[in-house]
Chains A and B, each alone.
Chain A
Amino acid sequence: MKKEPLVVLKDVWKIYQMGEVEVPALRGVTLNINKGDFVAIIGASGSGKSTMMNLVGCLDMPSKGHIFLKSRDITKLPESDLASLRGITIGFIFQLYNLIPTMNAYENVLLPLELQGIPDSIAAKRAREVLTLVGLGDKMHNLPTQLSGGEQQRVSIARSIVGDPEIILADEITGALDSVTGKEILQMLYRLWKEKGKTILLVTHDLKLAMYAHTIVELKDGKILSIKQNGAMKKFRRNKK
């Protein structure tokens, strides 16, 4: 049975204007990410992987081409709809956690639900549940500065899943962690994919971490160099542009 595409990138270009000079970060990228996929995007620094994640996450708009999220062309959506999409459909996990420093772990996790206008009692229950799920049930009232890097990243994961999004975008999420903690975090992400059926887009420059994914997309100079099924290493598409 054919899988339903959750994210579709069609000939997507992203060009940054640096004064007089145009710098292309993505050059005609076409890619389908299906529901339930665990996709790793790998590539060297400057290959365009973070740009691609920003575009898929509706944080930025392509210069050319179209991006469809759940069959809706995000390039044609107003800002308020994009905000709703980000809040309901997408969960972000950032390299440097990006927690609000003045809020404790619980408040950080509660924030996406507050933004969606979820009733207080439901939101509070849900925030406690996910914090317990990531193993921080006893540190809910700690400020980010009172948590270790790994714990902060777990808060970030809890925040990304509290709204039960369909897709989780993870950008270099182990970049600021030691190898043991990084592995734990990756295993947590893997469980979310395996047990909760989330679609995961993992951006990393580390091939070892990419091995957790079942599809590995390699970017180079803003183009897709290869898309490989994990293990099979089968090159089934190459962007020749």
Chain B
Amino acid sequence: MKLSKCLKHAFNMVIHSKLRSWLTIIGIVIGVGAVIAIVSLGEGMQQTMTSQLGQLGGDLLTVTAGYSRGQGFGGHFRGGGGSSSQATEEEIVVDRFDVQVLKGIPDIELIDVNIRGNVDVTFLGKTGSVSLTGVDQKIWSQITTLDIEEGRMLDSADQNVVVIGARLASSYFDQPLGINKMITIEGNAFRVVGILESESTSIYMPIQMAYQVLDDKENGVYDSIIVKIKDEDNLDAVIEKIESKLMLSRHVTEKDRDFTVSSNKQQQEARAEMMASMNMFLIAIAAVSLIVGAVGIANTMFTSVLEKTKQIGIMKAIGARNKDILLIFLFNAGLIGLVGGILGIFLGALLSGSLPALMGQTFLTRGGTIVSMNSVIMAITVSILVGMIAGAVPAYKGSRLKPVDALRYE
């Protein structure tokens, strides 16, 4: 029998056992839908990661106070424990002395310093709390990977001016906050000179002004020092050099180290790796429902073979070969998988679209969700395969029935 005819008969079998087929299909729909939704979350996270990785730059290093031994991403802390080289005994910090040390390393091209905090910002009567970063305005524009959308970056002569994130400019307040508009930060007036492409609510201003706005910050003490190295290929060697110089200047050893030098690239790679592992874990959980769906197909196919035993006998009596029967049942199972897969993709896309709304802004949903063509193709292929694998044993059993026994079956 031609393959097209086997497919036709398989299709007819699906059509003529509507209720049972649909019940089986639901199992696959749920499995595929769950996998698609989770994969779409993963792809969203992946894309955010990739874009962040691109934004951060592989040649940038961050020096922060504190040191954690099993550090992963963000594995540093401020304050508490250990000794301080330049500041108070209680608080470990990085400061202008560390910057001086770093300036003595020839592999370093640029050094930016910054402090951060949350501030109340007011525009046209509406106030909100946003993140503020004070930066060395002479260096920041050369070292940052953020792009300007409108206006300009900070420059060396700037004082009461800020550069703001796109979301703060466009939708945070009742009215758009444009270039040259005045905003009040902690009671001080600032003029907006630039709007970043980045969809954030962050504010960037000269570090000296930030010291005035952020009361708890001490002049000359930084939250982090950002270092741009000359040659990205020497990343590991430069990290080692910085660590050794700073340990010397801060009078610490490897054992009581009180600072962290982290590469943005390494951090993001570690984060991406962790996200990928978590994604795999979630997919594995979703795959369980796919396996349950596959068991459903196997069950349906066994029932179908049993129910159609007499028909198998009739078909064999009029010339059907074992292969024909096998293919018809395999295609039947594959079709159930295919229909389940297609509907599962729709369910998955629906779920993936609603997940950010259902789960809120968590680190899982921050990147949005992406149902890629790859995951669609993969879902269809997997669901057909799941169907055919689940249907293989029943189909084989059906094909091996002796015609005379099958014909006698009632």
Binding site for B on A (CB under 8 A): 54, 57, 59-60, 79-80, 83-84, 86-88, 92, 94, 98-100, 102-103, 111-112, 114-117, 159, 163
Contact = CB atoms under 8 A, between A and B. Distances in A.
Given A60-B402, A117-B2, A111 B407 contact: no
A163 B320 CA distance: 13
7 contacts: A79-B321, A80-B321, A86-B319, A87-B319, A111-B315, A115-B318, A117-B1
A102 B317 contact: no
A98 B319 contact: no
Contacts of B310: 98
Nearest to A163: B319
Contacts, number: 67
A12 to B, nearest CB: 15
B12 interface: yes
A225 B16 CA distance: 47
A116 B324 CA distance: 11
B314 interface: yes
B1 A159 contact: no
A105 to B, nearest CB: 15
Nearest to A87: B319
B403 interface: yes
Contacts of A98: 310, 313-314, 317, 407
B390 to A, nearest CB: 23
B404 interface: yes
Contacts of A115: 1, 315, 318-321, 324
Contacts of B319: 83-84, 86-88, 112, 115-116, 163
B316 interface: yes
B323 interface: yes
A86 B316 contact: yes
Interface string B395-410: 0000000111001000
Most interface-central of B12, B314, B324 (chain A CB within 10 A): B314
A102 B10 CA distance: 12
Given A80-B322, A83-B322, A112-B318, A100 B1 contact: no
A86 B320 CA distance: 9
A111 B323 CA distance: 16
B48 to A, nearest CB: 52
A122 B321 CA distance: 21
Given A59-B317, A87-B319, A102 B404 contact: no
Given A60-B403, A60-B404, A117-B1, A86 B16 contact: no
Kindly list the 7 A-B residue pairs having the minimum CB-CB distance in the complex, ordered from nearest.
A87-B319, A60-B404, A83-B321, A115-B319, A59-B403, A59-B404, A102-B16
Contact of B316 (A83, A94, A99, A100): A83
Most interface-central of B2, B16, B319, B321 (chain A CB within 10 A): B319
B181 interface: no
A112 B315 CA distance: 8
B311 A100 contact: yes
Contacts of B5: 114
B395 to A, nearest CB: 16
Interface string B361-398: 00000000000000000000000000000000000000
A87 B319 CA distance: 4
B16 A59 contact: no
Contacts of B407: 59, 94, 98
A54 to B, nearest CB: 5
Most interface-central of A83, A88, A92, A100 (chain B CB within 10 A): A83
Given A79-B322, A94-B407, A102-B13, 15 more contacts: A59-B402, A59-B404, A59-B407, A60-B403, A80-B322, A83-B321, A84-B319, A86-B403, A87-B318, A87-B319, A99-B314, A102-B12, A112-B318, A115-B1, A116-B319
Nearest to A79: B322
Nearest to B319: A87
A131 to B, nearest CB: 16
Nearest to B316: A83
Nearest to A98: B314
A83 B311 contact: no
A100 B314 contact: yes
Interface string B303-316: 00000001101111
Contacts of B315: 100, 111, 115
A115 B315 CA distance: 9
A166 B403 CA distance: 20
